[in-house]
Amino acid sequence: MKLVFDKDDFLTNYWQKKPCLIRQGFADFTDPVSPEILAGLAMEEGADSRVIESKADTESGWLVTHGPFEDYEKFGETDWTLLVQSVNEWLPDVGELITPFRFLPDWRIDDVMVSFSCENGGVGPHLDQYDVFIIQGAGSRHWRVGERQAMQEYQPAEDLCQIKGEFNAVINEHLTAGDVLYIPAGCPHDGISLEPSLNYSVGFRAPSKAELLLQLGDIAMQQESLQERYQDPALSSEDVSWVIEKTQLSALKQFLKDALESDETGALLAKIISQSKRPLPEPELPTTAEQIPTLLAQQNAFIEKTSGARFLKLSDTQFYGNGEAFHVIQEALPTAEWLAQLQGSEATEELAKLAKSVAGCELIAETINQGIIYLYIDES
């Protein structure tokens, strides 16, 4: 599946700046999931799903019901939307929608949310705190999208956040199958289904400073090199005890700045951004490095990165996946880079040629045991 548009122009003029509509970004688009399969997935205990009704019997007219669902008859034929998060982690075909967007950093990719909307279904005008590409599947939807502007948010129903009042729309269009809408974080938007339709939202993390600092603080507590204590700058007996002197404030800021600029903090950030959204499924029995050559040599053997997993390179000797550090020696570097660039399923022949060293086999075994990649036999 190929996304047809000028990526350089997009990155220069639109990415995280302003919304844009890519007409027929995916020509001859075929839905990777049907409404029936999506509805069935929302019946599963582990799926994160909800139905949003826009003409409910409530004071605001809005109602959110969380799954798992037993049936959908009570919602009627119009005015509701089913949303299921992280469908890419359940259905590999949906996960393939991420591949065309890998011209952006892997660690930024969050998940693929899929929604099915009946006629007039929608979630109301709102803001998202992440960047998103919305791919129109079957059916059609009318979208209004604005650039960033001052908006007031409120909750018309529990677990539903919308914006008050009207917003100035720079995009006001009907989307049909294959159209792609890009919406930067913080831009108001509202989509209403014109007929039963499917939408695929490829979301990108946009963490706040507070969120990153909170995660960094938690993980830094385990880092011995960051346990250094603050020391006062030169004090004077004339200083007033209840005044925070400028020199003291500067010293505190520099103390934190030194920590943030250290090599240790770079490694900690790599651990944080390599973490998967949900725990990765680990194999029942551990794989050993000695088993790898035989496993890779199996007929019809394929290797695939687990949906939601990340394997990121920080330097030639440092790779990170599932929140763990992988120290890679030179002879295993080609293997590590091959695993990092892995998209979808790949036959194991090429990896088998690279993984001739003990270190390469150890790395493959470790990523399998961590749940980052898995090996399977195609018996079809």
Name the H helices within the chain.
7-13, 35-41, 92-95, 209-220, 246-260, 263-273, 292-296, 333-341, 349-354, 358-369
| CA dist list (Å): 88 to 46, 65, 356 | 14, 22, 32
Give CA–CA dist 145/190, Å, rounded: 7
211 Cβ contact partners less than 8 Å away, ≥ 6 residues apart = none
- Please say whether the beta carbons of 96 and 32 come within 8 A: yes
318 Cβ contact partners less than 8 Å away, ≥ 6 residues apart = 267, 270, 325, 326, 327, 328
Dihedral of the alpha carbons of 354, 360, 363, 368, in degrees to the nearest 10: 50
Q: Which of 27, 14, 20 is nearest to 173 (CA)?
A: 20
- Please say whether the beta carbons of 136 and 195 come within 8 A: no
DSSP secondary structure code for residue 181 in this structure: E
Helix axes 209-220, 263-273, angle to 10 degrees: 110
CA 53, 56, 62, 66 dihedral sign is negative
Dihedral of the alpha carbons of 244, 246, 249, 255, in degrees to the nearest 10: -140
> What is the model's pLDDT at position 273?
93
Identify any residues that bridge with 305 across adjacent strands, giving them in sequence order: 373
- Please say whether the beta carbons of 121 and 81 come within 8 A: yes
Helix axes 333-341, 358-369, angle to 10 degrees: 30
Give CA–CA dist 336/361, Å, rounded: 10
Residues of the chain below pLDDT 50? none
